[in-house]
Amino acid sequence: MNIIIILGAMALAQPLAPPVEPSAMTEAAPAAAAAQTVLLPALTPVRLRILGEVSSKTHVKGDKIDIVLAEPLRLTETLAIPAGTRGVAEVIHSAKGGMGGKAGELLVAARSLDLSPTVHIPLRSFRLAPVSGKNNEGLAMGLSIAGGVAGGIAAMVMTGGSARIADRSEAFAKTAADVELPIAQLQSAGAPASSAP
């Protein structure tokens, strides 16, 4: 009984910690959040790769197209979005080629890169990289349509046949808005190579 009384008295004798001011908590929260994210600015150039063939013969308006980041997107000297990060593009217009040389038409808009199920990077200003070759693919024209509702569209027109974008074709886009990205979901990147004078 004596021991319990002594311990109880010692506990009562301990000074109480001063209460934390609410303003201190609200100031600390944004600072902690800022330390855990990095800003990806709007209009940052992005190099993409299209997965799977896309054709005006087989695709219709609203079809989703898989895209990936073709190369790491460096955010700081030590952090990057890894190559292979998946994203989504969308067919916004498709018309099959027809008799008498009617041209096939295919309009595709990049929508987003998806760093995680909850972190999405909106894209705009989508355009195909120049194509080459002697087959029908080489006859297609990659056009960039700036502005508009879609904010930039990759357009392909082929005279006298279906318009198509070959599997693994490369394209370019820009980020459509500022996005705060969680550092925990980014990849460590080596220091950029210094350019020789």
Per-domain residue ranges of the chain? 2-35, 39-182
Number of neighbouring beta carbons within 10 Å of residue 111: 23
Q: What's the pTM? A: 0.70
Which DSSP state fits 102? B
Write the CB contacts of 6 (distance below 8 Å, at least 6 apart in sequence): none
Tell whether domain 39-182 is in CATH 2.40.128.260: yes
pLDDT at residue 139, as a whole number? 34
Tokens of 179: 């996005």
Interatomic CA distance for residues 32 and 29, integer angstroms: 5
* Residue 23: per-residue pLDDT: 56
| Secondary structure of residue 28 in the 3-state scheme | helix
pLDDT score for 189: 78
User: CA-CA distance, 158 to 97, in Å (whole number)?
Assistant: 8
User: What does each of the 197 residues of the chain score in pLDDT, given as a tens digit?
Assistant: 444 444 444 444 555 555 555 555 555 555 555 579 999 999 999 999 999 999 999 999 999 999 999 999 999 999 999 999 999 999 999 998 876 667 889 999 999 999 999 999 999 999 998 865 433 333 333 333 333 334 456 766 555 578 889 999 999 999 999 999 999 999 987 655 544 44
Q: What is the pLDDT of residue 102?
A: 75
